[in-house]
Structure 1
């Protein structure tokens, strides 16, 4: 037979079957039945039973420490329902009323201690209809709300790219999107997103319209009129936030509709390979581009800088505005130092505004807001000295918020307690009634403090004590040996093992005065706190506006600091289809190297005569590092940062694609080669003439002739159909014959041979490597000497057999070049090599060549023919 309380619990649990219920009982949140078993296991707490006869499993955590336990559950994908007591148990006639006051999910957690300071905690919402998607992204604490709509020939891939950009913790999707196992697995396994399924009614267009009008007002919705999919996604997102928070989220007071093509497109593979914010090694920040560039001093600035890196700009004007601001900061050391001094102790105003609305702020948060606002006038004064357009704009937009500072300074105690219902938070002089009650309570306590001394003198009982506890209130305690000396006006209240406790009529009067005053005082202080909080909530738009200005200043300052520390230069951003870099360096590798000089390299690629660079050389020599550094320099330039180079001219790039390495996706039934080919197919279908392609070892996952054929065909296709700027690293030396086609050039990583060993010189020069040096690299990697010797023997035998039985004609017959754009005839590998040799001979000046040089050249030509 269930108790009334258990019946109350079961009624609530029936509405939230897939949630863990935190059920308030006094000073604890209790979990029951299956929830208790899960909580006991996940939180490592004791599983007990409240009713030994019915054996109801239960597990509980103290209410004041609940946040940390909830965060642990949510981090593991659980959703938690907070069920609070809705009345004072002392005043309740029967069972205490309880109700759900908040639902906490991975995308709606508001405990700042459970979140990364410099990373947004986004909730995303996706509505799919055919090949169209509506997407919205909301950060509950900061109030950011982003909306977009996608219609694409590769809709799932494009949506995944957007989700990877924002890295949400939780994603709400409709049934049509949920049907795709590929999409669901990408979200849950590759992107580590907690997926919440909702039926299509949840995305109702009319409901969404009403919600959005209520939240943002109708005039603000003009930018998304006609975007029905975006409309439905954003409406469902708001509905979910309202359902979980159970209150009005007035800090979400604006939204931003954006087109994905407003920013450089970076797919999941590209973000992973370039290690923008997470390293391939362990998924951490160290060893990433963010690690190099992040010198931010505030959490707000750190989040904004991360967003800049995730979304490079395509608007040349905005890029140049950022560049000019960075240049101004870089050129003025004292300006940087002054700003750094002011930004040092800035608190996270963006998230604190969310705490204000969500109802979990305290008086210490008010002090954090006050101390931050105190710095705004000086920051604005420093900005007034700046000349760049963006810095002037920030100066004009920033609000000093003096009135908010004055309010907080005169009302909130400088060192308030954590709790907000036990008094001690309101300054003296702010409210006369509070001051009066405080004096009454203080005077009463002073009288009681004097009472002990007076009674000792009056009674002669030296061990007499005046004390207090919550059950019996104030009392006078006398030991057994002194009971004969107790005066007649003492009234016995409690018998102890070692004595008696008494009260007097006068003591009862003062007790009533003090307790009533303290209770009323705590109530009045809490009411004053709530009024101040409500006033701050009204000022949230102003708070957020100034906080954003501070975050932009911090991000720009961070880029300037990185540029100063690492000797970066201002790149020239152009609309040309050309990338020219002198002495470029890899920003992460350069910083990670210790005791070793980084070798810089030049790059010149365009969409005409230097479209495709075919790069050969041994493994570990630096091909991949070189190609990645080009991509990172372009990306850095388009976020407005200076770049690691002597000089750089960057034509705007709409997308960066990378095909570097591969891994099995066995869960999806895809081998390494299948993954590689899938990625390559996506690149060839989506790249444009404005894109930058970084392709490393295409075709290496299959047989030599198959792989060589695919790599050859890919280069041809890019040259003929896409005309994109491409860096193509390969071990297929046969591909170097393509240099005779317009737009294709050969480059190699230089190495120096020393006997049977090699030294990597890390320098990119024109030409092609004569061999792969695979065995030498294997030896450097530590392969046993016996294996290395045997490999050399086998290689010698294979080369000899090839020369005798096949020659290069076999390879030439396996791989033929498609039609030369300059001719109607097919070209073979042999004919290309012969043409190359003829060109070499024609360019020879026989009047200046020495006999030794002639013999060396003849030997070289013979080797090339073989």
Structure 2
């Protein structure tokens, strides 16, 4: 076997440390991939696969991408679930002795992205670490693109709570210890619902002492100073996450400056099912933002505000004091339209401070991103000034926390040109007047001819040689040429360089130094610009804490302003959020549906629920009448109120709920082999286990996935279980087609019947969309089928079968066959169903027909017979 070339030996040494990553190996202006990486990348990125001599008999498979365009290729690999290790040249190849030194500067994974073109501006990108052992669960989640870091801790049996938290963060990458492998409920959720990259980590990362030491080293504070005293599981998960980040990110982790401990009891329980059914951030059918609550509420002006608004939606509060502080801020902006519009205008000029600062700290910020940071800083003083007279506590707090950053703005304004190039390497980034040496070099490059003319003029004056001239050639460089007739006038400091037939060429110390400056000016300018740019970057990075506090304040203000704008535009009211057990909504509306009705009026409805005499509302009525819309709107109004938003109602009094649980619609889960009914029952079981008397339950058509009697029995048992305060005792909206369940109003305390009003004239059915007391007298299923466009034959047949069922007749094939054996042949159903001709004849009044009308009718009937 032939020996590998030195460069390939270096490659294999690096690859050995990154076996599970696609290695981008820098060679000149390209990142190259070799062997298996090259074969894989060429297929995934549609690159041409070539080969390279590496000292072996066979050429090494190779493909590559330009280094300046690598982000697009890396992004594609990350989206496909791969991880990329970037191996960079650590020295200038021109100065290298032997093989250029190379080292992996960063491992890019789905959870460690910082590039703006790879991230959604309105969504956080979290990486999570899960610890599972006998002592309980630890969870740490970080978004390194914004510097956010949160930890939580749960008891050993709280798999449901952990799943709910993971659902809130929706991490794109998860690392975990081997204790998680036996927890099928959590592992199934990660695999089937989150669809993220998940990797098992060595147990050494989770060692308590190592975790504590790493946390203290990173934050310069002990865990107890970070609010983590007595939370060993959370500390171990956090330590393991930091260890992983330090291993994959060679720099930039100083961006993470603090950690927040999240107690799940601070927020309303919203599991993945509830968020999906209520369509908070994406629709169930298409997964789009349009048609969701976020779509209605998102009038934010900044990327930071968009992410925070989504967080508010995912984490509604349960503390009325905190909720009302948010509402006070929103109300002040609703009442002061001029202030709100001024703030919105100012926010429009603010870029994504959080992610800009991350790129500054990582050293990846471009000159144009520096300019975006400057423009943002310019907008801050005016924004802060507009808040000076605000009365609400949170708006005052925002005012106090916005730092004008005038020094940062001034530095960037002095340092970076007004219209910088895309990349630093393009040159012309540092503004004139910022550095004296750089200005001198630029002047020299741009005015070389003028400088030489000035020297020539000065030398003529000094020597008296009127025909003296300065010239240049590639061999001797710059020189002073003197004719023979004037050689006697040459001063002593002239150094002879070349003899000509009719004169001599000389050089002076000044000209020699000038020549060196001119010839190296371009390289020196490039070096100086990079050095100065890096100094500016370090100066801005040093202000991270100030910028981060300002970014957080601006995001909050943006959310308050957006909620106020939506409230005023859509006619929302301020809810009264309190500790009572009542939900009392007058003329409530569905916030999304009313926006999709294109100006048509939305029929508003009242809701009254409590834990005593109005605990469970059984809602009956036809399909398409609006039962599901009504129940969802109640849940959304409660959720909006607890996130601190005004609500679509004439008035609303909301006693805080600790969780919203939903079982809506029919669906199956083929990936896990679960039928529609199994999914339904699994969700019902989970709700019955997690709901409390402070919860709100939205249950739609429980028991429809099985036989009528089975389904009705299950539905009744579920209502009885919820009504019993020893079991659940939660406020519940229960929609059903089982009219027999309306009897429970007289049997169970706290159960009330309601129905969706509709009007029937002949075969025509009109939905009034109004919720009224009492049970429905019919489901109108056949009428709804007719509205949906089901063929007339099916409608007529269904009516006949329904009539027989209501008369108690048997219609199943088996029973029909038995009946025929006893009674003999029966008349077919088709024989008793009136034909179209018969139906048309019955409508004809022959006494009023003229002869010509009779002939026309006869022709029409004959045509029907042909059909």
Fold similarity call, TM over 0.5: yes
What SS does the aligned partner of 2:779 have? coil
Aligned to 2:559: 555
Equivalence for 2:354: 350
Matched, 1:596 2:600: yes
Task: Establish whether residue 183 from structure 1 lines up as the match of residue 186 from structure 2.
Answer: yes
Cα shift at 1:550: 0.7
Find the aligned partners of 2:180 and 2:272 in 1 and give their Cα distance. 19
Tell whether the 8 Å contact from 1:661 to 1:696 is kept in structure 2 after alignment.
Answer: yes
Question: CA offsets per residue over residues 532-560 of structure 1, 9 Å max, x none?
Answer: 11111111000010111111110000000
Change beyond 3 A, Cα 1:509–1:595: same
Uncovered stretches (5+) of structure 2, i.e. residues with no partner: 455-470, 479-496, 500-505, 813-867
Partner of 1:168: 171
The count of corresponding residues between Structure 1 and Structure 2 is 764
Partner of 1:828: none
Assess if the C-alpha contact under 8 Å between 1:437 and 1:521 holds in 2: yes
Change (3 A) 1:473 1:605: farther
Note if contact 1:329-1:557 (Cα within 8 Å) is conserved in structure 2: yes
Q: Is 1:739 aligned with 2:742?
A: no
Moved more, 435-444 or 236-245: 435-444
381-390 or 49-58: bigger deviation: 49-58
Helix, strand or coil at the partner of 1:731: coil
* Cα deviations by residue, 1:635-661 (Å, 9 ceiling, x for unpaired): 000011000001111111100000112
Structure 1 position 788, deviation (Å): 1.8
For the residues of structure 1 that align with 2:476 and 2:795, how far apart are their CA atoms? 88
1:765 counterpart SS class = strand
Q: Sort the Cα spacing of 1:474 and 1:612 in 2 relative to 1 into closer, same or farther, 3 A.
A: farther
Distance, in Å, in 1 between the alignment partners of 2:549 and 2:287 is 33
- Post-superposition CA distance 1:783-810 (Å, at most 9, x none): 22222222222221222126999xxxxx
TM-score (norm 1): 0.85
Q: TM-score, normalised by structure 2?
A: 0.85
Please tell me whether residue 325 in structure 1 is matched to residue 329 in structure 2: yes
1:758-777 alpha-carbon deviations (Å, 9 max, x no partner): 12111110011111111122
Task: Between 529-538 and 269-278, report the one with greater CA deviation.
Answer: 529-538
Q: Give the stretch that moved more between structures: 193-202 or 694-703.
A: 193-202
Preserved contact between residue 127 and residue 133 of structure 1 (Cα < 8 Å): yes
Deviation of 1:511 (Å): 6.9
**226, 230, 249: which one pairs with 1:245?**
249
Query: Which of 17, 27, 36 is residue 19 of structure 2 equivalent to?
Result: 17
Partner of 1:61: 65
Whole-angstrom distance in 1 between the partners of 2:36 and 2:568? 57
Contact 1:251 1:541 in 2 (8 A): no
Q: Give the conservation status (yes or no) of the 8 Å contact 1:473–1:511.
A: no
Is contact 2:82-2:109 (8 Å) kept? yes
Query: 1:325, 1:664 → 2: CA distance?
Result: 43
Aligned to 2:44: 42
Aligned equivalent of 1:617:
621
Which secondary structure state, in structure 2, belongs to the residue aligned with residue 250 of structure 1?
A: helix
Residues 1:473 and 1:396: Cα distance change in structure 2 (over 3 Å):
farther
Q: Deviations for 1:26-45, whole angstroms, at most 9, x for unmatched residues?
A: 10111111211221122122
Deviation at 1:757, TM superposition (A): 2.9
**Which whole-Å deviations, capped at 9, do the CAs of 1:582-614 have from their partners, x for residues lacking one?**
110000111111242211111001000000000
Q: Structure 1 CA distance, aligned partners of 2:83 and 2:664?
A: 38
Structure 1 gap segments, 5+ residues each = 451-465, 476-488, 492-503, 806-866
Q: 1:303 to 1:448 in 2, by over 3 A?
A: farther
Counterpart-to-counterpart distance in 1, 2:651 and 2:125: 38
Q: Tell me how far 1:693 sits from its aligned partner.
A: 0.4
The answer to which of 661-670 and 556-565 deviates more is 661-670
Conservation of the 8 A alpha-carbon contact between 2:804 and 2:810: no
- Structure 2 residue 785 is matched with structure 1 residue 763: no
Does 1:575 pair with 2:579? yes
Gap change, CA 1:79 and 1:802, over 3 Å in 2: same
Q: Identify which of 199, 207, 210 aligns with 1:204.
A: 207
- Please say if residues 445 and 514 of structure 1, whose CA atoms lie closer than 8 Å, have aligned partners that are also in contact: no
1:661-740 correspondence to structure 2 within 5 Å: 661-720=665-724, 721-740=727-746
Deviation at 1:242, TM superposition (A): 1.2
Distance 2:39 2:409 in 1: 48
Contact 1:571 1:637 in 2 (8 A): yes
Contact 1:698-1:711 at 8 Å conserved across structures: yes
Distance 1:673 1:96, change over 3 A: same
Displacement of 1:440 after TM fit? 2.1
CA RMSD after TM alignment: 2.7
- The answer to whether the Cα contact below 8 Å between 2:223 and 2:229 also exists between their aligned partners in 1 is no
Distance in 2, Cα, partners of 1:21 & 1:107 = 18
Match of 1:265, SS state, is coil
